[in-house]
Structures are given as structure tokens and as C-alpha cells.
Amino acid sequence: MKSNTIAKIMEKLIAKSIFNPEEDGCWEWTGARTQNGFGYGTINLHYKKWATHRISWVIHNRKQIPKGMEVCHTCDNHACWRPDHLFIGTHKDNMQDMARKHPCDPNRAINKGEVRYVRLTDIKRRELLIKLELLEE
Ligand SMILES: [Zn+2]
């Protein structure tokens, strides 16, 4: 992917997300979600629908998702696309991981809980892009 394409995607992601200001807080997509019970965020790019956590993993790791593997969440917030909350696993890993965290209801709706989220200002957005090494300082 070209770096200006990546920067555009990231800007789209950041513009439509809310950010938990805690140090390791989630970056949560507020746009469209999949309707399959998982509630993954989706974003349209070049007439194709992408899962936000998958595109984020690809951009951050600068490689394709290995065949047959899934991008899983350590935070269990399926709308989250923060790169360090994502890890690669098999479908089985993903299902086991979810079942371990929520033995009763692996398809439960995302619970925003009491977490406080904020939208980023233009300045903060810029800072984040620089931090992600997508913009020059
Ligand atoms: Zn998260």
C-alpha cells in the first residue's frame, strides 16, 4: 500500500472513532458494524468493505494477514482497532479466546460500560498520525 493511501485510511479511521483517554484505552470505531453478531467495525475503501481491525493490523504491521488466520482482540472490544490490542490467531484461537472471556455468551453485544471516550481534536489527530509514523513531524 502506498503511504498516502495509508495516511488517508488512517485519517478516515481516526475521524470516525472515539478514544478512551486511558493509557491503554481502546480506539473504538463508531461507523458501520458487521451484522453477524460480532459487531466488527467496517469501512469502505475503494468500493470494498474492510473490517477496521483487519485494515489497522495490515497497516501497522506492513504486511498481509497470513492465509487462514484471523485478527483477534486482546481487549475484546470488536469495534476497537488500536494496533497493540490486536493479535494474529487462528479461527479456533479466536473462538476459544472469546469463549474463555465470555463463557455464557460469546456473541454478546459490545458493552461500553463506564468507559469515557473522547473524540480527537485536529491537533490530537495529527499527533496520533505522527506517533503511528504515518505523518512527518
Ligand atoms: Zn481495544
Give the pLDDT confidence of 77-112 residue by residue, as tens digits. 999 999 999 999 998 888 888 777 765 544 444 444
Going from the Cα of 65 to the center of ligand 1, the distance in angstroms, rounded, reads 19
Give the residue-averaged pLDDT of 100-125: 63
Q: State residue 109's pLDDT score.
A: 44
Going from the Cα of 53 to the center of ligand 1, the distance in angstroms, rounded, reads 10
Please report, rounded to a whole number, the percentage of residues in the chain having pLDDT higher than 70.
86
Query: Radius of gyration (Cα) for the chain, nearest Å?
Result: 15
Going from the Cα of 75 to the center of ligand 1, the distance in angstroms, rounded, reads 5
Q: CATH assignment of 3-131?
A: 3.90.75
Going from the Cα of 119 to the center of ligand 1, the distance in angstroms, rounded, reads 15
Give the residue-averaged pLDDT of 109-125: 67
* Residue with the larger pLDDT of the pair 125 and 90: 90
Give yes or no for residue 123 having a pLDDT over 90: no
Split at pLDDT 50, 70, 90, the class of 46 is confident
38, 78 contact by CB (below 8 A) = yes
118, 19 contact by CB (below 8 A) = yes
Going from the Cα of 76 to the center of ligand 1, the distance in angstroms, rounded, reads 7
Question: Which value, to the nearest 10 degrees, does the dihedral of the CA atoms of residues 16, 74, 53, 89 take?
Answer: 180
11's torsion region: left (phi>0), alpha (psi -120 to 50) or beta?
Answer: alpha
Please report, rounded to a whole number, the percentage of residues in the chain having pLDDT higher than 90.
40
Going from the Cα of 85 to the center of ligand 1, the distance in angstroms, rounded, reads 5
Residue found by looking up cell 465470555 in the block: 102
Going from the Cα of 64 to the center of ligand 1, the distance in angstroms, rounded, reads 21
134, 4 contact by CB (below 8 A) = no
- Quote the mean pLDDT of the chain: 83
CA atoms within 13 A on the CB side of 115: 19
Going from the Cα of 3 to the center of ligand 1, the distance in angstroms, rounded, reads 24
